[in-house]
């Protein structure tokens, strides 16, 4: 059974999800809009190494063989004691015809209900639309969230900070970009990600024990500056049924494809991941990932890329969490 793992957050919680930067001096200038699956994987392995270091290689194999599958972390909206899950807009929709292209292109996430019902893009903003867009980033079914829903999702904010250096150092200011969860009194904004496991009972219990530590440890970068706080972790079964699914699959995690696997990739966007600086002239390797929402003709196998250097373990998770693309989403 797929589980939705909900990371409950307070309104105004700050997060920093680091992005690749060519220059170390600009590394904190950018943050992702949501939690990529490699960040969740890294948080899991880091917590596992603290509690049961002898199990890290065992669990790496679980991820590599598909015994554990994780999606990326997306937004979950709490409304009227119900949780509405947002999913990434499939990349193929970027070439769909629509009467409102400017508004349409700004949509990054759609609700689980919009995906399941396969509401075609040309119906999203029509006069008789079953959908509502409570902010420029999202689209929902009216029946999920109300016909007059209006709330902000998240906002990026630049914060000036002071480096921990001596007072004589004049160049001690820097800017950090944080992502702030918003919402309002009626709509609470949280995070969630999806998990599937096929483990022995002992390791299944350990898996959920480690996941529970996210509330204590937080997630993402710059936690010493107040980022990454999670109030609690909750679990829900995640049932999913798409009306008239096509044969194509949509990735819900980052995928680091091998060259021979690119022939199944149909519509996608890419992003550099990794490259953390280890010193003035050293940095960890960089890899190209297909972003969540990539459309493929078939599912690809999971992998854990090993870019370890000397004593520094550095693994990157290439996920295989997919949902079927509705026929109505095809151009």
Which residues lie below 8 Å from residue 318, measured CB to CB, with a gap of 6+? Answer: 253, 254, 255, 256, 257, 289, 300, 302, 303, 304, 305
Task: Please tell me the predicted confidence (pLDDT) of residue 59.
Answer: 97
Task: Please tell me the predicted confidence (pLDDT) of residue 1.
Answer: 78
Indicate the SS3 state at residue 273: strand
Count of positions (residues) in the chain: 331
Rounded to whole angstroms, how far apart are CA atoms 220 and 331?
36
Task: Please tell me the predicted confidence (pLDDT) of residue 172.
Answer: 66
| DSSP-assigned letter for residue 132 | E
Domain residue spans of the chain? 3-329
Please choose, from the candidates 60, 63, 117, the residue with its C-alpha nearest in 3D space to the C-alpha of residue 87: 117
Task: Tell me the residue ranges of DSSP E strands in 100-146.
Answer: 109-111, 131-135, 138-141
Which residues lie below 8 Å from residue 170, measured CB to CB, with a gap of 6+? Answer: none
Rounded to whole angstroms, how far apart are CA atoms 132 and 78?
16
Contact criterion met (CB below 8 Å) for 253 and 71: yes
Rounded to whole angstroms, how far apart are CA atoms 315 and 231?
27
Task: Please tell me the predicted confidence (pLDDT) of residue 24.
Answer: 53
Rounded to whole angstroms, how far apart are CA atoms 111 and 46?
31
- Rounded to two decimals, the pTM is 0.92
| Residue 133 buriedness (CB in 10 A; 0-12 / 13-18 / 19+) | buried
Task: Please tell me the predicted confidence (pLDDT) of residue 170.
Answer: 54
Pairing of strands 109-111, 265-267: unpaired
| Residue 67 buriedness (CB in 10 A; 0-12 / 13-18 / 19+) | middle
Q: What is the pLDDT along the chain (331 residues), one digit of tens a residue?
A: 799 999 999 999 999 887 766 655 555 667 899 999 999 999 999 999 999 999 999 999 999 999 999 999 999 999 999 999 999 999 999 988 777 788 899 999 999 999 999 999 999 998 899 999 999 999 999 999 999 999 999 999 987 766 655 444 556 667 788 999 999 999 999 999 999 999 999 999 999 999 999 888 889 877 777 788 899 999 999 999 998 999 999 999 999 998 888 999 999 999 998 766 666 667 778 889 999 999 999 999 999 999 887 777 789 999 999 999 999 998 8
Contact criterion met (CB below 8 Å) for 17 and 36: yes
Rounded to whole angstroms, how far apart are CA atoms 8 and 23?
34
Rounded to whole angstroms, how far apart are CA atoms 69 and 320?
7
Task: Please tell me the predicted confidence (pLDDT) of residue 167.
Answer: 46
Which residues lie below 8 Å from residue 218, measured CB to CB, with a gap of 6+? Answer: 227, 228, 229, 230
CA 60 to chain centre: 20
Report the 3 state secondary structure along 201-229.
Answer: HHHHHHHHHHHHCHHHHCCCCCHHHCCCC
């Amino acid at each position: 059974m797929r589980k939705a793992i909900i990371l409950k957050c307070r309104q105004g919680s700050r997060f920093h999800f680091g992005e690749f930067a060519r220059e170390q001096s600009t590394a904190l200038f950018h943050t992702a809009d949501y939690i990529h699956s490699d960040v969740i994987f890294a948080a899991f392995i880091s917590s596992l190494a603290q509690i049961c270091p002898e199990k890290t290689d065992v669990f790496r194999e679980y991820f590599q063989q598909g015994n554990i599958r994780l999606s990326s972390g997306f937004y979950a909206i709490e409304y009227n004691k119900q949780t509405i899950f947002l999913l990434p807009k499939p990349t193929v929709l970027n070439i769909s015809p629509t009467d409102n292209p400017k508004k349409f292109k700004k949509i990054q996430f759609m609700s689980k209900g919009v995906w399941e019902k396969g509401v075609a893009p040309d119906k999203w903003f029509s006069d008789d639309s079953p959908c509502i867009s409570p902010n420029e980033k999202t689209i929902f079914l009216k029946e999920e969230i109300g016909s007059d829903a209006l709330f902000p999702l998240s906002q990026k904010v630049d914060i000036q900070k002071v480096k921990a250096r001596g007072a004589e150092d004049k160049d001690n200011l820097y800017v950090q970009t944080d992502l702030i969860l918003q919402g309002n009194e009626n709509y609470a904004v949280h995070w969630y990600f999806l998990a599937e496991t096929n483990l022995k009972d002992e390791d299944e219990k350990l898996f959920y024990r480690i996941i529970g530590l996210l509330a204590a440890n937080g997630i993402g970068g710059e936690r010493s500056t107040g980022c990454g706080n999670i109030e609690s972790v909750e679990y829900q079964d995640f049932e999913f049924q798409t009306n008239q699914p096509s044969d194509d699959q949509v990735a819900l995690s980052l995928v680091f494809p091998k060259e021979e696997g690119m022939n199944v990739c149909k519509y996608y966007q890419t992003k550099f991941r990794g490259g953390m600086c280890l010193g003035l002239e050293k940095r960890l390797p960089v890899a190209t990932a297909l972003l969540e929402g990539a459309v493929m003709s078939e599912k690809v196998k999971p992998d854990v890329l090993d870019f370890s250097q000397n004593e520094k373990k550095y693994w990157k998770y290439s996920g295989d969490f997919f949902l079927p693309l509705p026929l109505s989403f095809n151009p």
